[in-house]
Amino acid sequence: SAVISQKPSRDICQRGTSLTIQCQVDSQVTMMFWYRQQPGQSLTLIATANQGSEATYESGFVIDKFPISRPNLTFSTLTVSNMSPEDSSIYLCSVEESRAPTFRYEQYFGPGTRLTVT
């Protein structure tokens, strides 16, 4: 099964700066997603990142704040721009892939990036 990694695993950033989070998969996947989990909360989808097209953002999330790149089928980045303390969250990428034994398409999550904005 594919291994999903994220960099950095955690960071502490100052207000007004930007951070780019990387998501790497060791096999080719069509569908990649970025989620946010605010402290003590559930997960919220930020955007869908498909290779060869612009990311599709969910209501409440905009490209200027969360620009996303998807240059190939194994990699994506999410940038959190002009950060404020309210952006302190865990950011997770996920991929849709099929795995043994069912080989049905399911969504799997990376380890997450824990961001603290001071």
* Contact call for residue 107 and other proteins (CB under 8 A): yes
91 contributes a contact to other proteins by CB under 8 A? no
Query: Can residue 11 be called a binding residue for other proteins (CB under 8 A)?
Result: no
Total interface residues for other proteins by CB under 8 A: 23
Q: Which of 29, 33, 34, 83 binds other proteins (CB under 8 A)?
A: 33
Q: How far apart are CA 94 and CA 19, in angstroms?
A: 19
Whole-angstrom CA distances from 78 to 22, 32, 99, 104 are 7, 11, 25, 27
* Cβ count within 10 A of residue 73: 16
Q: Can residue 13 be called a binding residue for other proteins (CB under 8 A)?
A: no
Chain contacts with other proteins (rule: CB under 8 A): 31, 33, 35, 41-45, 48, 56, 58, 92, 94, 96, 104-112
